[in-house]
């Protein structure tokens, strides 16, 4: 594991911990990472859609545009899966915070 991989993993970890606290910017950043395949991760549109969706739900306007754009490259099944994952992520994390 090279240094850049380590710092990428660290960045994603820190974004995830911010996301768990409900940070719309962290959601958005994760969406960007997964939609572009930056930070050493593979492009994963389902994962990206999930994060853009969470960002949009928390009032992040730019993420709505990004979500719409990547939706064009996704099947209806992938979009449904992303929406399911966003819902379950919200349930898991709101339960933990409560």
Measured CA to CA, the distance from residue 52 to residue 63 in angstroms comes to 5
pLDDT at 1: 44
Domain count, the chain: 1
Confidence of residue 39 (pLDDT cuts 50, 70, 90): confident
Inter-CA distances, 92 with 11, 74, 75, 88, Å: 22, 25, 26, 6
Predicted pLDDT of residue 81: 98
57 pLDDT tier (thresholds 50, 70, 90): very high
Q: What is the mean pLDDT of residues 13-24?
A: 93
14 near 47, Cβ under 8 Å?
no
Domain hosting residue 65, numbered range: 3-97
Find tokens 């974004």 and name the residue: 15
Question: What is the C-alpha separation between 80 and 83, in angstroms, rounded?
Answer: 5
pLDDT at 7: 78
**Mean pLDDT along residues 31-47:** 94
Which is higher by pLDDT, 9 or 67? 67
């Amino acid at each position: 594991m090279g240094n850049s991989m380590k710092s990428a993993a660290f960045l994603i970890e820190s974004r995830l911990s911010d996301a768990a606290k409900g940070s719309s910017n962290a959601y958005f950043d994760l969406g960007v990472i997964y939609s572009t395949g930056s930070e050493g991760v593979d492009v994963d549109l389902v994962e990206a859609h999930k994060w853009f969706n969470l960002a949009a739900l928390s009032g992040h306007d730019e993420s709505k545009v990004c979500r719409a754009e990547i939706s064009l490259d996704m099947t209806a099944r992938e979009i449904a899966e992303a929406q399911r994952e966003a819902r379950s992520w919200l349930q898991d994390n709101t339960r933990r915070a409560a």
